[in-house]
Structure 1
Amino acid sequence: MTWPAIPKDVIDWIRHIGSAVNNDVTGRMVNQPNVRETSLDDAFINQIAEFSAPRRLESGAIVMLETHNVGGLRHWDRWEIADIAFLVHVSIAGTPLCQKIGLLQSKRLYPKNHDVEEDDLVRFSMGLSGLVQPATGSTIGKFNRKFEFTESCKFEAITKSDEQLERILSFNTEFGESAYYLLYHPDEMPSESQHPRTEYSTVDDPAVGARVVHAEVVSDCAKPPTAADLRDKADVQYWRLETWMADFLLTCRVGRQYSSDDTSIINRMIYRRSGPISAAVRINVDLPEESRDQK
């Protein structure tokens, strides 16, 4: 199926949404430099959900976004292909036309002091009871910390023996390239912040922020890769999140179209609650009737 021409105002709207997500998650990195990676993913989905109401654009197209978030800790000690799945469904006057998928495996940059709140299975199993007890000396000691980010800082969760990366590469070979890496950075580098904070920052159009790269770029870098390694290796394909969403995924320049022939692998990834994806975003684009002649 040939991918239809997507109206410019649809692309602009999705780029606007992606930019809002980028600003939000990057702002969290700035204000809480040791934030958990899974918390950034949750914020990503929550920000997109704010744009979920259907919107009719000047071209006559209607765009509606839907989200579903299962949460990442269900994959504790198990591999996953991606943290966030993007599904794009295009229809004309309500008649389904085509669909595609793009997957993002997220990783966050670690500060120079390596101080990041990691997912903790013990604390997760304790639930709310873990917050009931008074803060201990070690907790209070966390009130005063300094965080620095430079281009030599590393994505420390990507290691030499990274089974997840190997599975992503294998998946792309089997299914066609559809899984990419989403890299969370602060708004600029070098940057520095101190806890406790005296004020909170608002991020708008970050110089670095959330970026998307090919999985092969991650594979080709030394492990764990530095921010500079990934930027230099990706070169012009060091996409801003909103660029990847709007100018590449939506226009079918990245990701993979799928059909009924792919039912087995799509079911394995998406429809099973135990599947290897934590959250999903569906972008529904309904084109006006006159678009039939422009396919």
Structure 2
Amino acid sequence: MSEKSEHSLAPAQLSNDSAEYIHPTDRPDLTLPNDVKNFLKQLFLECNRKISFQLSMFPNAHEESLDLLFISHFAHMQGAIKFDSNWTLRIDAHFIGGGRHFRTWEVADIGLMVMFRKNGRITRSKLAFLQSKKLYASPLKYKPQDPHFRAGLGRLLVTEEEHCELVKTMLLKYSEKSKYKALKLKSEQEGAMSMFSSRHNITLHYLLYNPSLIPWEIKTPVEGVPTIDENKVGCRVISKPFLDTSFQDKQVNYAPSYKDIRDAFKKDFSDQESVAGWKMENFICDLFINGKEGLVDDSPNFQTMLRIMSQKTSPISSALSITFDFEE
């Protein structure tokens, strides 16, 4: 490898390829065998199902709690797994927590890191960022700030008025018109994300938390565990450039609906079966790990990854690291 290529940082271009159209590389140390791929996809599929069921049962769940559910799904896997194909898989999950944000804004809730090793030696690393936004059920309202400016454990202390609102009998409904109310187009946060993306030469993505089914409704307080046989909608991923381009004619602070995202995605990716974004497990396992999405860092010492991810003060809340080791 030349000196130039060893330190190249080439951001992958947004791809129209679905999982089944990803062309495998001719490098065996970067091509996951089926036993590893199937295990990993099942792991993320189950994570998707768990988060979506939680949001279906408790539509008033905070986005932060859904992020924690994502991280906790992998946090217990603190060890290496050896497969028959002579590959080893290791997953590390870390909750970074609050810290300094980029221009006072958090640009991503979850950072994804993938490292490929051959006989223990790094051959490639990749990086992706997910900014999570949940779909709001009607009549729930988006509250951008705590009116009492509570922080830390103080957030657990609610007023009598807030308590009465939380336990009041309501019918919460999801429909195609439901909106991602915290996703404000052309907002200050969007601007900070664009600047961060340009500075680090990386495409940001949105992780959209949806219920398992749409339409869906549930009475609160919940009186029994609902039965949901299939996760038809669930967690979806779209890129920020796709969102910016698709809704460039919308006004400032417009919050797109599920139907908005679905129709725009169908228009741009008409050759795919994905609805309202890529399924989380397909994006991570096929488009990111084994595909064209994400920032590629071929340097041997994680120059870009360390600069962005290593400090607690980075504008990211949680990180998931996946390491593959191919042994010849």
Unaligned runs of 5+ in 2: 6-24, 267-271
How far does residue 196 in structure 1 lie from its aligned partner after superposition?
1.5
Aligned-partner residue type, residue 256 of structure 2: P
Aligned-partner residue type, residue 193 of structure 1: I
How far does residue 57 in structure 1 lie from its aligned partner after superposition?
1.6
Identity of aligned residues (%): 26
Aligned-partner residue type, residue 124 of structure 1: A
State how far apart, in whole Å, the 1-side matches of 2:37 and 2:103 are. 38
Deviation string, structure 1 residues 157-213 (Cα, Å, up to 9, x no partner)? 122442222333344444444321100011111110111112123656511110000
| 1:102–1:178 contact (8 Å) kept in structure 2 | yes
1:113 aligns with 2:139: yes
**Which piece of structure 1 moves more, 1-10 or 273-282?**
1-10
Q: Pairwise mapping of residues 229-248 of structure 1 onto structure 2 (< 5 A)?
A: 229-235=260-266, 236=272, 238-248=277-287
| 2:142–2:181 contact (8 Å) kept in structure 1 | no
1:68 aligns with 2:99: no
Instruction: Quote the residue 2:212 is aligned against.
Output: 187
**Which piece of structure 1 moves more, 69-78 or 166-175?**
69-78
State how far apart, in whole Å, the 2-side matches of 1:163 and 1:216 are. 16
State how far apart, in whole Å, the 1-side matches of 2:50 and 2:199 are. 34
Q: Pairwise mapping of residues 1-295 of structure 1 onto structure 2 (< 5 A)?
A: 4-72=30-98, 75=101, 78-115=104-141, 120=146, 122-125=149-152, 127=154, 130=157, 136-143=160-167, 144-201=169-226, 205-219=230-244, 220-221=246-247, 222=250, 223-235=254-266, 236=272, 238-260=277-299, 265-289=304-328
Secondary structure in structure 1 of the residue aligned to 2:151: helix
Cα distance 1:266–1:60, how it changes in 2: closer, same or farther (>3 A)? closer
How far does residue 260 in structure 1 lie from its aligned partner after superposition?
4.1
Cα distance 1:35–1:275, how it changes in 2: closer, same or farther (>3 A)? same
| 2:75–2:94 contact (8 Å) kept in structure 1 | no
Deviation string, structure 1 residues 105-134 (Cα, Å, up to 9, x no partner)? 100111121346767473324538727xxx
TM-score by length of 1: 0.86
Aligned-partner residue type, residue 294 of structure 2: G
| 1:109–1:154 contact (8 Å) kept in structure 2 | yes
| 1:36–1:118 contact (8 Å) kept in structure 2 | no
How far does residue 239 in structure 1 lie from its aligned partner after superposition?
0.6
**Which piece of structure 1 moves more, 207-216 or 250-259?**
250-259
Secondary structure in structure 2 of the residue aligned to 1:253: coil
State how far apart, in whole Å, the 2-side matches of 1:117 and 1:199 are. 28
**Which piece of structure 1 moves more, 94-103 or 258-267?**
258-267
Aligned-partner residue type, residue 261 of structure 2: L
How far does residue 30 in structure 1 lie from its aligned partner after superposition?
1.1
| 1:35–1:116 contact (8 Å) kept in structure 2 | no
Cα distance 1:73–1:124, how it changes in 2: closer, same or farther (>3 A)? farther
How far does residue 83 in structure 1 lie from its aligned partner after superposition?
0.7
| 2:100–2:314 contact (8 Å) kept in structure 1 | no
Cα distance 1:202–1:117, how it changes in 2: closer, same or farther (>3 A)? farther
Aligned-partner residue type, residue 42 of structure 1: L
State how far apart, in whole Å, the 1-side matches of 2:161 and 2:102 are. 28
Unaligned runs of 5+ in 1: 290-295
State how far apart, in whole Å, the 2-side matches of 1:260 and 1:76 are. 25
From the two aligned structures, give the one with the greater helix fraction.
1
How far does residue 266 in structure 1 lie from its aligned partner after superposition?
3.4
Secondary structure in structure 1 of the residue aligned to 2:150: helix
| 1:55–1:62 contact (8 Å) kept in structure 2 | yes
| 2:208–2:237 contact (8 Å) kept in structure 1 | yes
